[in-house]
């Protein structure tokens, strides 16, 4: 009983002293005081096991939130390229949508995200075919199940597209009009008018033409046209479209769609950082639970395991996995070493293993030693070397380490994204 009382007291110290009272980490709990009281009640009623189950649920709940994005348009408009770009795939990858195949979509095809299968893109047949006419389309396709609709064209929006948009609007569903292949239009105009050509003028003409054709909708809201070229997704309006899709998401789906998107924009990087920062409090609670119960040897392994697992999640979320960087380096006609050096990618020097993290944070700590007294610094470094310490110290050390890892990776993601924008312009 005395040991249990000591453990309870130590863990409650973690909650009282270290769980932020005024942070965004309260997530869906409203105010942070409510979050604090909730954790305290869970611990008092069910102990450390109950808290761990609660934290696991909070961290992974987004994976069960399904997002269905429907893509419509006639053959040749670039639907498959759009689907693959959103999913972070090429036409050669398993599970991608076929590109360059001359066919008319006659069936409903679904493409789940390879890493986050809760995000599903659907290639829908157009209206006007014998199997999918205006009379039976809504029922056969079941329009109610989709969260978003992307209407795609590479010339003009047809009457059937306009009709379907009205049906979607009547259901209260979100929809966006995408005029694809504008890069091809710009190149053609430049070839035809070498003296008078202007990229901006061509884009303005395309936008005005789309707006004119869509006036038939007679909706009481402004229709936004997004100009894209999926061969160059960093140019034109593709990233603006993705940012708008996220902004329009209902609150209960917003976290899921932010974490499921892998084609990064600067706005998406910022939003991912906000959510990943919130996760730090939860991961540190898990580390605090470990630190609060002094189990020799296991104490260090659990802390390092938490750091490694979460750092790998950051790396995937921010487009820094080895295969992602290798593909980008090849596209940029560089080796992975050249890419790392040219962009000064600091996350590449961090080994995501027990040995690598101990080495990294030891060096990091030496550089920051001036901000700590010697005794205090040694106390914070102890969890990495297998010493049993209090839950409070374990929470503090885990928070500091995870925030450092996140900051480094966010900066690298921004460097890569800015390079992409500069390279494509």
- CATH number of the domain residue 77 falls in: 3.40.50.300
pLDDT at position 384 is: 40
34 and 125 belong to one structural domain:
no
Does residue 296 sit in the same domain as residue 378? yes
- Whether residue 146 sits in one domain with residue 39: no
Return the ∠ at Cα 146 (arms to 143 and 148), rounded to 5°.
Answer: 115
The answer to whether residues 176 and 300 belong to one domain is: no
CA–CA distance, 116 with 253 (Å, rounded to integer): 14
pLDDT at site 207:
93
Mean pLDDT by 10 residues, the chain (425 residues): 40 46 41 64 79 86 94 86 89 79 67 93 85 86 92 84 85 90 94 93 93 76 87 90 92 92 91 93 77 43 73 94 88 89 92 81 61 41 42 71 93 92 67
- How much is the pLDDT for 151? 92
The residue whose two tokens read 């960093």 is: 234
- CA–CA–CA angle 98, 113, 69 (5° rounding): 80
Q: Do residue 59 and residue 73 come from a single domain?
A: no
Expressed as residue numbers, the domain containing 367 is 2-63+264-424
- The answer to whether residues 70 and 152 belong to one domain is yes
Residue count (the chain): 425
Q: What is the pLDDT of residue 184?
A: 93
91, 97, 103, 107 alpha-carbon torsion, rounded to 10°: 170
By the 8 A CB rule, do 154 and 78 touch?
yes
Strand order in the sheet with 174-179: 109-112, 119-123, 67-72, 148-153, 174-179, 225-227
Q: What is the pTM of this model?
A: 0.81
Q: How many domains does the chain have?
A: 2
Q: Which of 239, 260, 281 is the last residue of a domain?
A: 260
Is the Cβ–Cβ distance between 243 and 54 less than 8 Å?
A: no
Domain boundary among 260, 292, 321: 260
pLDDT score of 180: 94
Residue 338 sits in the same domain as residue 205: no
Confirm if 222 and 241 have CB atoms less than 8 A apart: no
Domain co-membership, 355 together with 303: yes
Whether residues 230 and 362 fall in one domain: no
Element (H, E) at 114: none
Same-domain pairing of 251 and 270: no
Q: Is 198 within 8 Å of 189 (Cβ atoms)?
A: no
Q: What is the model's pLDDT at position 406?
A: 96
Residue finishing a domain among 200, 228, 260: 260
**The pLDDT of residue 414:** 95
Give the number of other Cβ atoms within 10 Å of residue 379's Cβ.
17
CA pair distance 33, 9, nearest whole angstrom: 20
Q: Are residues 125 and 88 in the same domain?
A: yes
Predicted confidence at residue 9, as pLDDT, reads: 45
Pair (111, 201) in one structural domain = yes
Question: Residue 291's closest CA among 378, 196, 356, 379?
Answer: 379
Pairing of strands 109-112, 119-123: antiparallel
For residue 365, the model assigns a pLDDT of 65
Residue 176: the pLDDT is: 93
């Amino acid at each position: 009983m005395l040991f249990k009382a000591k453990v309870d007291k130590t863990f409650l110290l973690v909650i009282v002293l270290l769980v932020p009272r005024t942070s965004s980490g309260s997530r869906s709990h409203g105010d942070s005081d409510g979050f604090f009281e909730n954790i305290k009640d869970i611990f008092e009623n069910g102990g450390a096991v109950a808290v761990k189950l609660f934290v696991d649920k909070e961290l992974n709940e987004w994976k069960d939130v399904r997002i269905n994005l429907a893509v419509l348009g006639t053959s040749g408009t670039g639907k498959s390229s759009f689907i693959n770009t959103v999913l972070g795939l090429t036409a050669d990858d398993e599970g991608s949508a076929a590109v360059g195949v001359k066919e008319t979509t006659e069936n409903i095809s679904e493409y789940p995200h390879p890493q986050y299968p809760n995000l599903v893109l659907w290639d829908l047949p157009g209206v006007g075919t014998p199997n999918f006419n205006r009379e039976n389309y809504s029922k056969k396709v079941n329009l109610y199940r989709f969260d978003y609709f992307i209407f795609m064209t590479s010339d003009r929006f047809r009457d059937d597209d306009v009709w379907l948009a009205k049906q979607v609007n009547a259901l209260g569903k979100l929809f966006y009009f995408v005029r694809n292949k504008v890069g091809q239009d710009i190149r053609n105009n430049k070839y035809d008018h070498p003296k008078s050509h202007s990229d901006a003028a061509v884009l303005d003409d395309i936008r005005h033409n789309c707006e004119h054709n869509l006036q038939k909708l007679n909706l009481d809201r402004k229709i936004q046209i997004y100009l894209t070229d999926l061969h160059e997704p960093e140019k034109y309006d593709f990233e603006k479209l993705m940012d708008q899709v996220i902004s329009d998401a209902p609150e209960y789906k917003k976290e899921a769609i932010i974490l499921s998107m892998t084609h990064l924009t600067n706005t998406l990087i910022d939003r991912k950082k906000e959510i990943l920062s919130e996760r730090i409090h939860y991961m540190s609670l898990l580390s605090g639970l470990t630190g609060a119960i002094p189990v020799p040897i296991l104490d260090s392994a659990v802390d390092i395991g938490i750091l490694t697992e979460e750092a790998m999640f950051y790396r995937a979320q921010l487009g820094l996995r080895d295969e992602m960087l290798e593909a980008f380096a090849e596209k940029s006609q560089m080796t992975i070493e050249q890419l790392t050096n040219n962009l000064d990618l600091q996350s590449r020097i961090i080994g995501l293993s027990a040995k690598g993290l101990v080495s990294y944070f030891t060096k990091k700590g030496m550089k920051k030693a001036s901000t700590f007294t010697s005794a205090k610094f040694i106390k914070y470094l102890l969890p990495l070397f297998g010493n049993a310490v209090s839950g409070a110290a374990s929470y503090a050390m885990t928070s500091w380490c995870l925030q450092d890892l996140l900051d480094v990776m966010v900066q690298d993601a921004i460097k890569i994204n800015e390079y992409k924008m500069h390279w494509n312009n």
